[in-house]
Structure formats: C-alpha cells, structure tokens
Homo-oligomer: A and B are copies of this chain.
C-alpha cells in the first residue's frame, strides 16, 4: 500500500460507483496531480490483488473499478447500462466446495457473474 494506491482509493471514494483507469487518471490530472497513466494501472492492479477494489468489465470490454463492499459477493451486471447489483452467492459457495471435493481439489476459489438486461434497458 503506497502513496499512489491511496490516491486511487481517495478518488474512488469521492466518485463512488465504477470508473475506468483512463477516467480515474483524467480526474487526478484535472485535480493537478501529475500521476502517470502507468502508475494508475499499477495501483489499480495492486488494489485488485489485495481485494480492495473490484474489477468488472463494461459492455465494450473496458475494465472498470470500484471499491469493494465488505465480504465475498458476486455481481449481477446489466449489459445495457452497466448497472451492477452485489448479490449473495450462497448456492454457489456450496456448489464450488462440493465440486472441488469431488475432484480432490484444495485451496479453492471461484468466480461467478450474471449478465443480463435490467428492467430499464
């Protein structure tokens, strides 16, 4: 956790919601911070690794970032507008554990996302 990481966290706190690396970079630049795009990408990656921010994808594939809510959760993402709902994955946790056991896997993690069109789109 270094200075750049903290800057990014600060921007994400203030903006709320999702933002792309390029947008976050522009915001910092606009605020007079001379931070480089490379550093923005590095900081975001490190924050994702530390599970401090979530990384999702916009419809066009661009990566978007947001501060993690607490705890383990999954996402329900609208393909139209990008609106995202954090959901619990109770059934998934069991499924992952069961499948892993069945095939003798240990130290398991899993990913699961649901994509669709929200009621507005």
* Residues of A48-69 contacting chain B, CB below 8 A: 56-57, 59, 61-63
A99 contact set on B, CB distance < 8 A:
76, 87, 114
Question: Once the chains are docked, how many angstroms separate the CA of A90 from the CA of B94?
Answer: 12
* Residues of A96-121 contacting chain B, CB below 8 A: 96, 99-100, 103-119
A106 contact set on B, CB distance < 8 A:
116-117
**Min distance, Cβ A85 to any Cβ of chain B, angstroms:** 5
Nearest B residue to A87 via CB reads B99
Contact A105 B91 (CB under 8 A): no
Residues of chain A whose beta carbon lies under 8 Å from any beta carbon of chain B: 56-57, 59, 61-63, 76, 78-79, 85, 87, 89-92, 94-96, 99-100, 103-119
